[in-house]
Structure 1
Amino acid sequence: MSIAQSNALRPEFQAALHEASRFFETPFYAYDLESLRNRIETLQAAFPSAEIFYAMKANPRLGLLRRFLEWGLNLEAVSLGEVHRAYRAGFQRTEVLLNGPVKTPATLEELAEIGIPILGLDSLADIRRVAQILPGSRVLLRVNPDLPISTHDHLATGRGESKFGILPEDLGEALDVARKGDLEVLGLHVHLGSALSRPEDYHAGYEVMRQLYLQHGPFEVLNLGGGFGLDLNPAELAPSATALAKAFDAELWLEPGRYLVAEAGVLVTKIWGTKRTRRNFMLVDAGMMTLLRPMLYGAQHPILPLYTGRKTETWDLAGPVCESGDILAKEVRLPTPKEGDALAILQAGAYGSSMSSNYLDYPRPLELLWNGGEWEVLRRKQSWESLFADEL
């Protein structure tokens, strides 16, 4: 049984958003600290013995990461820049796991200077390069379980045709290369994909890992990844995941990202007109440069009007970018607005800000955190000077 996605905000946070929409220039991102804390505590209660590595690509704001450190989380990074950010937030190298399919010599050499995190290795080429440049590193080997994962094609990292991981039949060779290369193999890692809603996908992945641990173990760590969809209750997976780790006397690691932060964040945008062609459009100041997920994944985000009254109609939310795909939502029932009315795009706490871009020279937006009493600025709106600073 799954838990339903929440389309509602805490009343206190929603009231604060109404005020913020009148005070701050839109578009802006806003996050609810209490919702973040509650979500993390819920997952920690479901997996009390697990080490949780927050997938920081979901939302990497330093002001959030520092709080996550206080709350007992580790970090999962997928780039050199994210490792720098993790260390700047106060995490130690033993609290950071660097995954990703490509680690260049320059990246590895810089890690030797700033501190080598735990490394997730994705291929034989990855293993050989790390063994040559960073011998003695503590590593996990990522498995591609070759399963028919049910999610968007761009999110299904556990299918056999995915670019990620080592196929089960190649794992023996990979382990030999790693151990001969003087790497300390802590264990194996599997990440099936993102926005997964079917427990059976996880159970199939767990069975692949069970067979690999029987064949190639023992290992110190069992990393079962993340990818929990918002309509999945991870607590339903806890008994089988915990039992699997216990059966092999391994420490259980998890890598949730979007599940922890998505529903705590919103994107606030204002409506600057309506337009009727063969469809009804609300013209808003946020777009694909602010929130890419609808265009990239066909993601559907609930929409909350921060205004009342007037007749309800069906609308598409059209952004300002000169691209036909710059539509943030389709066929949403909303009250007919007046110019300057505001909307909150929900479930935007993950892969919103982190995927934002400067396409068409739009500055990245302001980001705020509601701490229950006041707004904290997590990131100022990007200045024009900053936008052009690196160009000669």
Structure 2
Amino acid sequence: MSGLNPHFKAALQSALERYETPFYAYDLASIQARVGALRAAFPKAEVFFAMKANPRLGILRRLLGWGVFLEAVSVGEVRRAYAAGFKRTEVLLNGPVKTPAALAELKELGVPLLGLDSLADAERVARHLPGSHVLLRVNPDLPVVTHDHLATGRGESKFGVLPQDVGQALEIARAGGLDVLGLHVHLGSALEHPEDFRAGYAVMERLYQEYGPFEVLNLGGGFGLGLDLAALAPEALGLAERLGVELWLEPGRYLVAEAGVLVTRTWGTKQTRRNFLLVDAGMSHLLRPMLYGAEHPVEPLYAGGAPQTFDLAGPACESGDILARGLTLPTPQEGDALAILQAGAYGSSMSSNYLDTPRPLELLWTGEEWEVLRQRQSWESLLLEEQSEG
């Protein structure tokens, strides 16, 4: 990413005059452009947005208006999808654990499309929700190149069934009265190498030839922000055409990451054996650097003085609460603001109340005005579920 769009950057300056930091801000035009780029590359694919990347209702409803469906991984996300206006057939629920209580809740809510993740999952879904429309997730057992916590297609991952177990899983599902639409593979997240996808496609082609025919081929998501979709799409589209199936995709971070920033203010510098810039955003607001070692670009929203190199240190009493390392920035004054980029995915959705930290305000720039997607959480709300005296 080369930096903030000048129009969005100017809008952020106006937001700083009205709202307390830290806050998340999203550029609607950026999300729409990413949806357009994906549709241009995969014109015949059905797109299911991985809503865990960013579940704000104001964003989900706009995706619905653009014809994008949703991929959920919890009953709570299914509830949110329905609240946003999506139909059962427009929501796919994946995930490795579906308890009887969760399946009973789905029966009351309306059963979405379901992804089966194991032999036990197939048996349980068949027992509790016979007649459901399902896909079987495959673990292709491939050495994909990404962070260990993001590599869902390796054989040691907890996700999916290995290729040699596909036949047994299909037998369980079909014997239990489930309508198996097809197979599903998701290799991991933040994948930048087309050869990883090609290896996954080859595994799926062999399985479809052995166990088909099916109606659907779900190739998941995981597209890195720098991945060349034009180099990859013809192979995916060609595979679907050869197999005579409908192609489904599940992008998440690809659609929303670059649309979002976490805006924070600087509150001083300090030196130990390293040079730190102290800010009011931290791991409770943005967990990815600590969890995945994710590197987020940072752009100053001030002019500043001579450049210095800093580590960006958050307020939590944790040594790991470092949002970025080795940043060269103009020397700020107290209260100057920074934008932490590529924060539109898994930023707010992973935020927590650790250290009794209220979750931050979230804003959407429509191109004309700021729309509040979620109010800043009040501190008082953190106590509502606890019993207190007096």
Normalization by structure 2: what TM-score? Answer: 0.99
Corresponding position of 1:380: 375
* Coordinate RMSD, CA, aligned: 0.6
Q: Which residue of 2 aligns with 1:65?
A: 60
CA distance in 2, matches of 1:235, 1:140: 27
Q: Give the secondary structure class of the aligned counterpart of 2:333.
A: coil
Determine helix, strand or coil for the equivalent of 1:361.
Answer: coil
State how far apart, in whole Å, the 1-side matches of 2:310 and 2:380 are: 36
The answer to whether the 8 Å contact 1:149/1:192 transfers is: yes
1:180 Cα deviation from its structure 2 partner: 0.3
Match of 2:256 in 1: 261
State the shift of 1:68 in Å.
Answer: 0.2
**Fraction of identical pairs, as percent:** 73
Match of 1:138 in 2: 133
CA–CA distance in 2 between the matches of 1:353 and 1:7? Answer: 23
Where do 5+ consecutive residues of structure 1 fail to align?
Answer: 1-5
Secondary structure (helix, strand or coil) at the match of 2:70 reads: strand
Residue from 148, 167, 170 that aligns with 1:172: 167
Residues 7 and 302 of structure 1 are in contact (CA less than 8 Å); yes or no, is this contact kept in structure 2?
Answer: no
TM-score by length of 1: 0.98
Shift of 1:78: 0.2
Does residue 210 in structure 1 map to residue 205 in structure 2? yes
Counterpart secondary structure, 1:282: strand
CA distance in 1, matches of 2:273, 2:163: 52
Matches within 5 A, 1:10-21: 10-21=5-16
Residues 191 and 227 in structure 1, CA contact (< 8 A), matched pair in contact too: yes
CA contact (8 A) 1:271 1:337 kept: yes
Give per-residue Cα distances to partners, 1:87-116, cap 9 Å, x unaligned: 000000000000000001110000000100
Q: Secondary structure at the match of 1:85?
A: helix
What SS class does the counterpart of residue 369 from structure 1 fall into?
Answer: strand
Residue 344 (structure 2) aligns with: 349
Measured after TM superposition, the shift of residue 388 of structure 1 is 1.3
Aligned to 1:221: 216
Partner of residue 22, structure 1: 17
The letter of the residue matching 2:67 is G
Q: CA deviation at 1:256?
A: 0.2
Aligned residue in 2 for 1:3: none
Please give the per-residue CA displacement for 1:26-71, whole angstroms capped at 9, x wherever unaligned: 0000000111111101101111100000000000000000000000
Query: Equivalent residue of 1:378, what SS?
Result: strand
**Deviations 1:150-192 (Å, cap 9, x if unpaired)?**
0000000000000000000010111101100000000000000
Give how far 1:23 is off: 2.0
What is the CA–CA distance in structure 2 between the aligned matches of 1:107 and 1:167, rounded to whole Å? 25
Task: Name the SS of the counterpart of 1:76 in structure 2.
Answer: strand
Post-superposition, which runs of at least 4 consecutive aligned residues in structure 1 deviate over 3 A? none
Cα distance per residue 1:219-243 (max 9 Å; x no partner): 0000000000011022221100011
Identify the residue that residue 143 of structure 2 maps to in structure 1: 148
User: Are the equivalent residues in 2 in contact too, given 1:43–1:235 (CA < 8 A)?
Assistant: no
- Report the residue type matching 1:74 in the other structure: F
Q: Tell me, which stretches of 5 or more residues in structure 2 are unaligned?
A: none
8 Å contact from structure 1 (residues 157, 163) kept in 2: yes
